[in-house]
Amino acid sequence: MAITKDLLKTKTSKIVKKLKDYYGEVQCYLTHKNCFELICAVALSAQCTDDRVNMTTPALFKKYPDAFSMAKAKIDDLEKIVKPCGFYKNKSRNLKNMAIRLVNEYNSEVPAKMEDLVTLAGVGRKTANVVLGTWFKKPDGVVVDTHVKRITNLLGLTKNSDPEKIEQDLNKLVPKKHWDQFSLWLIAHGRETCIARRPQCGKCMFAKFCDYKRGQQV
C-alpha cells in the first residue's frame, strides 16, 4: 500500500528529530578557511572521499590561495596536486576555469546565489548547495551526495535515483531550517552506522523505517 503524503511527512519529521537529537550540529567535513577553499574542496570531492580531499587541499591552497592565483595556474601543475582525488584532468581544468570566471565576473569572490554558482565550471546544484548552506547559511535545497541518495531511498523518502529529483522530493519533506544539517546528519549516519558495504542494522535507530532492514526492495 502506497504511503500518503501526510504519513510520509510524519515519518520524515520523526527521522529529522532522531537525527537532530543524536548528532546535534554537524560541521562540514571538508577542511576550509574561506569560501574559495570550500568551493574548490567540494568540487574535488566528486567521486572521492572527504578524507582524501582534506589530505590534498593543503598543498593546493598553499600554492593557489585565491581565485586570482589559481586562474594563472598551469594545468600540469594543478594536475600533479589534485591527482590523488581522481578524474584529475577534468578537475584541474574545472578549477582553473572556475577561478578565471570568478576573477573576470565576480571580482574574485564566490557568488552567493544559486543561479550564479552553477555557471562556474564544475559546479552543479550539489556543490552550490554545500557552499550556500555551509558558508552563506542560506541553502537552496538539501545537498544530495552518495550517502543521502542511498539512505533516503532505504528510508522510503524518495524512489528517485536522479540527485536533482531526490533533492526536489526532500525539499518538500524536510523543513527548510534543517536542509543544511539534514544532509550532514545523513552523511554522519552513513559513516557511522548505515555503512554501504557493511550496514550496522542491529544498532540503527531507523531499523523500523528501513526497507533494507525489512528485506524489502527499495
* Nearest-angstrom CA–CA distance, 1 and 112: 43
Rounded to 5 degrees, what angle do the CA atoms 123, 75, 82 make? Answer: 65
Nearest-Å Rg of the Cα atoms of the chain is 18
Residues 50, 91, 96, 126: which is the catalytic one?
126
- Under a CB-based contact definition with an 8 Å cutoff, are residues 152 and 158 in contact? yes
Residues 91, 96, 140, 145: which is the catalytic one?
145
Active site residue 126: yes
- Under a CB-based contact definition with an 8 Å cutoff, are residues 133 and 180 in contact? yes
* Nearest-angstrom CA–CA distance, 102 and 120: 8
* Nearest-angstrom CA–CA distance, 64 and 215: 49
What are phi and psi for residue 213, nearest 5 degrees? Answer: -65, -35
Q: Kindly list the catalytic residues.
A: 126, 145
